[in-house]
Amino acid sequence: MPTDPFFKFFLFLIIYILILLVFKFKGTGEKKVTKDCLNACPCEKNCPLNRIERKMSDKFFNHLTFRIFNFKRYKCSSCEWQGLRWEKDFKAKS
């Protein structure tokens, strides 16, 4: 195994991007769609989620994932769940 620091960093970056792409194609953290709701809570009740303002850490996390997911913060009104979700059909800003 080469000890070149640039090679190690490049290898780490490639592995990191591959892991992100696997999460993207598996749908980890994707919006949950049901017959009653286009954006349902991950709890058993499947209540609709409401958008809330992003935290600074959410914006940092979005940049850390190279904006592959375009995370948005949601909150459930019935179970008080809060978290990040992303849409499968991402439309970049023009």
pLDDT in tens, the chain (94 residues): 567 899 999 999 999 999 999 999 998 888 888 888 888 888 877 888 999 999 999 999 999 998 888 899 999 988 888 999 988 765 555 4
Cα 21–chain centre separation: 11
What is the model's pTM? Answer: 0.78
Strand order, beta sheet including 72-76? 49-51, 72-76, 82-85
Task: Please name the residues in contact with 82: beta carbons below 8 A apart, sequence gap of 6 or more.
Answer: 52, 73, 74, 75, 76
The whole-angstrom separation of Cα 84 and Cα 25 is 17
User: Are the CB atoms for 90 and 67 separated by under 8 Å?
Assistant: no
Map out the domains of the chain as residue ranges: 29-87
* Helix/strand/coil for 49: strand
